[in-house]
Structure formats: structure tokens, C-alpha cells
Structure 1
């Protein structure tokens, strides 16, 4: 089978292969965690004999009955008792096994082994696991395809990068979209199915939510308003206007559950003057902006929101920690930090007027440091000024692409 290799993640994971730490791949369902697990098993570790590689997908019919720690331990002891040499364990969607962390910790203690696991809920590495394995695991959060990966998937369509980007804005980057040939109706049907699967399995069922209507209204409001400040109070007012009464705590809990399932990303504000994090006017973005279109909100009509979402996911996929910048009464869309280095980004659709350009570039006049500062937009004219670099969004998204000669 041919895979999109996703080198940005393999590069992060490779230094930890054969090291005495458990490798945990987290992320929303269907973003490609299983594929990465298979690439590690079959490609990076291809020199290891297959019999010393134990792969279990707990969503497979073959392993449905292995749903608790005792059954898993019994199965592993039976299947590996005759093997010699270092063993490699690959556990896919391991959160489906009750008390699985006890088995993983036991393997780590008793066996000469290397362990790789995936899970679709951020609570995977909380609670008892964090206690048992403190300092003995590394986590890699996997995102949907970014635009450079989307280009690689659909390069045989021979579309120009601008047309491909329009499709990316509309459809998002869920890997299985490659099977739907950029056809909108089938793609949206698939995205709706994934969306509901994630909600039912990883949010509603996992958290035993009974008031599904209220939950859906809260999530729909947040999806509609990605990139805008969203507070529990504003959602409460919206629900009250629809004659629904719900507590602030319930709203906060439901939003937190969506973050745990990797549907939503909450981005906090950083006061660049006071040098402190703020817990007001936080923003939410979608892990995949295609869900927004699939739910009936036009990403082309709300292109500013879509572009912000795309740039945010791009930055975190590059390994940045991202915050929103508060500069007096103004805002910087994103402050991206990695290895103690900082980069600033403003995101706009088009800067046709002088007033728009002044707004996007002018905020940087109040940032007194020498870190790189960018304005990203869909303009073809270069508006760079005063050391602030203007880039076309597409060029920014493709700047690290290995397939840079496609076009």
C-alpha cells in the first residue's frame, strides 16, 4: 500500500525509536495515526523480523473481545512466550481496553521491548498513566493533512496550486478524502460521518452526556464562530435567546470534552505589554476546518475565519506553541513559539485598502522586539514594509514542502 509518509512527524518520532520511552501518538480519529504506526512498523523498523513485531488494532473485529487489562496481558503472554530478542509492540486505539496502562507499564518493566500506542482522547495520558509512566513517555499529536500534504495527495489532478487551495479551503485535510476525488457532496458526507463518529464515541458516550441537543447547540455555535472570541457567557446568552437555559459550568465542560477529543483547539491570549497569559477572550479553532463546511457554514463566504484556522493548524503541525497576542487594544493573530524563538503572524484575506494594510502592519509598531514578523494574505502584490514581511498564504503553507517543484 502507498502511504503519504508525513516526514514532519516521522522526523519528530525517529530520535525516540529504540529508546526506553513509550511513544504515544494522539489526535482526532481518522487523522492518520494508524498509518503512521504502520509506516514505523513496516518501513522504519523493516530490519526487525515480523515475528518480533506485535500489532493490535483494538477497533478490529479480531480483537474486540480484548477489552480489559487481564485479557490483553493473557493474549500477549501467549503470543510472545516463544520469541527471543527485543519485542516491538504497536497498540492502536488502546483507550478501548480498560486499565490498559497497567499492561503497558508491566511490559516496560518485564520485557526488553519498544512500545508505540495511539489514542483518540487527550485524557489518554492523564490520571494513572501519568503516575505510572511519569517521565517514561513522549507524546506526538497528529493533525490532519496540511496544505503541502494535500498537494502531494492530489498532484495527479494537475490543478494549479490556487485551484487546489480553493479545494483545501472547502474540504479540509482529513486523509481519507483522497478517495473521493475532490468531489464535494461525497466528501461532505464522509466528513459528516467522521464528525458524528467522533462525537458519539469520544464525546457523548465517553462522557455520558444526556442532553445531546444542548451539546450540539454549543458546539455548532463555536464552530460557526471560529477565530472570534468565544466565552461561556456569550454562549449562555446565545442559548438564552433560543429559550435554552444552561449553566456556565456545563458549557465549559462540554467545550473541554471537545478539546479532549481533539475536535476543538482553544487558544489563549498573551499580553505582549504585561508579559502574561490572559484567561479572557479566548478563541477556538477546528482541528479540521472541513467539518465547518460539512456542517453548512461556508468557508469561502467566511474565508477570513478559514484562513486563520488553516494557518493555526499549520503552525502547531510545525511544532509551535501558539497564542493570540494582545497589544493594548489591538490584536496579533498568532504568536508562535518554538525552542525559545518567537514569530508573529497576522492573517488577512485581501489588503486592498490602505486602512486594511495599516491595521495589519500597524499593530507591530507596538511590539518592541526583533523577532520575525509576518503578514499573510491572498494578495499577489508584495506589501512588505519596515522589516515586516508580507507573504502569500499559499507560499507560506508550501515553504517547507519537499515537493516544491510540483508546480
Structure 2
């Protein structure tokens, strides 16, 4: 089924923008290209209109539109000044603003000269979030946007969740489409694990060829515009080898959730013959590989996660792990096959925790490892992820690190097959799909 092109709600992000409405900081929405940043600005503008703000107080400019593509920073200042209403607060929405040279001076001028509330999207094509704080002198708040969570995926693809009678007695959840057809939630989850959470997938439908075309466009844009062209614009020549960049992407995509040393990536590429194309006789330096990895992190293509010593209560400099921003992009890169599904669902859990506002680290306790320590404010959650808890051997392996932790914070094991027991000495065994849908 193909969903309509209506503007779909992303409440978790819209509520963050609403929380900062009419506060001094400039609101900067960042994230990988095509994850929904432009739509979020439209949703925020619609919220303002619904709550009594007049159209004349809202100025929306998309700098990818031909109407504004040649606008200079002076032109922008005059455009906004001419439309500003005396004695009224103005709401300024700038999408793809970084296409315009000198934009940062104009934005700061608006802050000084107008009574205004400013919203910007940070498409990584032109300026990445790490540079915003420099240009805006720390006067901004960053809203980090991700592709669709599983709960959002269900909504975007036109499914609703209903309780139906279970053959075992009681009820169970099923997904129902607009035609009234019922699907097992596991079917929908498998589709999510196959196609990923890019919002555009909902427009083309859950068809492999169309999904691949969309993912190819996102990949090409991120790599060519976000990284290769951006390096040229900044006058830097670190990221010049497109083939090496792709090999590093493939390596990281194939090794999500595994401990990775940047210094070992070059060795692995050479040892496995991945760079032997008659071009390169020596392995790339660690410095070079680090520059390429950093570019991928800045483009929000991959996220890195550090280790935290639970007993020593400090972050460690030992090997970290990398996760890919969208599991559909991983399948596009490596092919649609059942590969390393344990690390794939771990990847989904990592981004779900980020989406719920947690800071996330890997936990180390002695020689054992906890997949994730998720913290925010006074809350802490220890999380293990595995495909199944039905095997006694797996249960022992997954529970052991959590059993070594002496504090009283919540400890859970997430799996697709949690087994019959819902708790082991206070450690909860939860169904992964049910946990992903908690927010619904």
C-alpha cells in the first residue's frame, strides 16, 4: 500500500520545538538528509497558525526553491525587514539556509534588530551541527532528528494497532491497514528491519525496487554533497578518495555493534583485498581513516558510542562501536539478506533509546559487557539485546552482566522471543516489539 503525501506528524520532535517556542535560542534542526527536517518546520508553522499566530507574522523560506536560490544575505535582511510588522513578534523559518554565503551574520542581525523567533534546518549538505555553535556564538539549541522509529513507521505506513483475541486466551496486538486487513506485528517489524525508517519509503510503498531507488538517492546525496563537495567548499583536501570512503562505509555497515578500532580499519581493508584495485599499494594512515570516519559521523550517517566503566564510573578510551542511522541504508549497501540480525536489532534499540531522549553508552563491568546504559536526569536503564531468550545458554550469557550490577536501577533484556518467564531475579525479560511500541 502507498500512503498519501499529506504532512505527517512527528510529535516527539514537534513537541521539542514547541517547548522552545518564544525563547531566545535559535532552533536548529539537524539530522541526515531526507529524515524529515523540512516537514518539521512546516509542522511548527502550522502549529503557530493553529494557536493564533497570523500568517503575516510567519516568514517561511526554502533556499532550495528557485525563488530564493540566488538571494544574498543583504537581500534576505531586506526581505524580512520589509515584511516585519511593528509591535508584532515575527516567526522566521529558514530551510537550507546554508546555501547562502554570509547567512550567519544576517541571522545574528535579526536577533539584534527584530522581535523574532528563529528556526533553521541543518541539512548536512552545507553546514553540519558541529559548526553551528561557532557561527551562532552558542545562542542556539539543536533538535537532533532521526529517521522513523518503529512506532512512527506504523503510523506513516497507514497501520493502526488493535487488540484482538488470542488463541491462548486474553488479547494480543495486531496491525490493521486502511482496508481492514490484519497483519501480525512481527510482519510489520520485519518490513521495518528490511526497508528502514526513512520517511520517503512511506510515499513509495513497501516495494523493494522503489525502496532501493529512494535509498540510493539518499546515499548518493549524503556522500557526494555532504562529504565530498563540502570538503572542496571548505578548502580542505582530507576526504578526496571516493573509493576509500565507500570501502570504509561498507566496513562500518558490516560491523555495526562490534568493537572497532579506527587504526585496524586500514589493516582489515588491505588484508581482505578490499583496496587492491591497482590504485593503492599501501594502507591508508590511521589519521586518514579517522578523517573519513569523522566525516561520516558529522554527516549523521553513523553514530559512535563509548564505553563506560560501571564500577569505576568513568568513560574508557578503549574500543567503541558504531551504529548506522538507518537499517534500510545498511540493507541497501550490503544487500537484502538475513545478515547478523542480532546486531541489526541492537542497532534499532540504540536509536530508539536516543529517540526517547537518553544518553547512551556501552557498559563495562569487569570483563563483562552490558549492551547499553541509558541515562537521563535521575533515570538510568541497563539494557541487553538478544534475538531470543528461549535457550538456557543464551539466558545465562545475557543475564550474567546485569546480575553483576549492584545498584537498583531498572535492568531489562529485550528480545523477539522472550520465553515464558517475564523476570529473572528482578531483571525483566521483555518482548522487543512491545517495548518499541510503548510510546503508542
Q: TM-score range by the shorter chain?
A: over 0.9
The match for 1:36 is 40
Deviation at 1:160, TM superposition (A): 2.3
Deviation at 1:143, TM superposition (A): 0.6
Structure 2 gaps of 5+ residues are: 160-176, 233-238
Q: Are 1:227 and 1:305, in contact at CA under 8 Å, matched by a contact in 2? A: yes
Q: Are 1:227 and 1:283, in contact at CA under 8 Å, matched by a contact in 2? A: yes
2:200 is paired with a residue of what secondary structure?
helix
Partners of 2:350 and 2:305 in 1: how far apart? 9
Cα deviation code 1:158-204 (max 9, x no counterpart)? 42211100000001000010112211121122111111111111111
Are 2:104 and 1:94 aligned? no
2:349 is paired with a residue of what secondary structure?
helix
Are 2:288 and 1:267 aligned? no
Distance 1:381 1:42, change over 3 A: same
The match for 1:160 is 184
From 428, 436, 440, give the equivalent of 1:389: 428
Cα root mean square deviation, aligned: 1.9
Partners of 2:335 and 2:405 in 1: how far apart? 35
From 394, 398, 411, give the equivalent of 1:373: 411
Cα deviation code 1:226-252 (max 9, x no counterpart)? 111111122011122224420101111
* Structure having the larger proportion of residues in helix: 1
From 253, 260, 281, give the equivalent of 1:230: 260
From 248, 267, 284, give the equivalent of 1:246: 284
The match for 1:210 is 240
Are 2:403 and 1:398 aligned? no
Partners of 1:127 and 1:286 in 2: how far apart? 22
Distance 1:82 1:273, change over 3 A: closer
The match for 1:404 is none
Deviation at 1:133, TM superposition (A): 3.3
Partners of 1:12 and 1:62 in 2: how far apart? 30
The match for 2:69 is 64
How many residues get paired?
398
Are 2:339 and 1:301 aligned? yes
Q: Are 2:369 and 2:401, in contact at CA under 8 Å, matched by a contact in 1? A: yes
Q: Are 1:170 and 1:300, in contact at CA under 8 Å, matched by a contact in 2? A: no
The match for 1:140 is 143
Q: Are 1:322 and 1:336, in contact at CA under 8 Å, matched by a contact in 2? A: yes
Partners of 1:184 and 1:323 in 2: how far apart? 34
The match for 1:284 is 322
Q: Are 2:384 and 2:398, in contact at CA under 8 Å, matched by a contact in 1? A: yes
Distance 1:126 1:145, change over 3 A: closer
From 223, 243, 253, give the equivalent of 1:199: 223
Partners of 2:145 and 2:132 in 1: how far apart? 23
Deviation at 1:274, TM superposition (A): 1.5
The match for 1:115 is 118
2:260 is paired with a residue of what secondary structure?
coil
Q: Are 2:133 and 2:140, in contact at CA under 8 Å, matched by a contact in 1? A: no
Are 2:390 and 1:352 aligned? yes
Bigger mean CA deviation after superposition, 231-240 or 388-397: 231-240
Deviation at 1:357, TM superposition (A): 0.5
Distance 1:146 1:379, change over 3 A: same
Are 2:58 and 1:20 aligned? no
Please report the TM-score for the alignment, with normalisation by the length of structure 1.
0.93
2:231 is paired with a residue of what secondary structure?
coil
Partners of 2:129 and 2:107 in 1: how far apart? 12
Q: Are 2:57 and 2:84, in contact at CA under 8 Å, matched by a contact in 1? A: no
Distance 1:167 1:234, change over 3 A: same
From 203, 219, 234, give the equivalent of 2:249: 219
Cα deviation code 1:29-80 (max 9, x no counterpart)? 11111111101101344321212211111122221112x53343243334x2
Are 2:178 and 1:174 aligned? no
Partners of 1:269 and 1:2 in 2: how far apart? 42
Deviation at 1:345, TM superposition (A): 0.5
1:189 is paired with a residue of what secondary structure?
helix
Runs of 4+ with >6 A deviation = none
The match for 2:54 is 49
Partners of 1:58 and 1:342 in 2: how far apart? 42
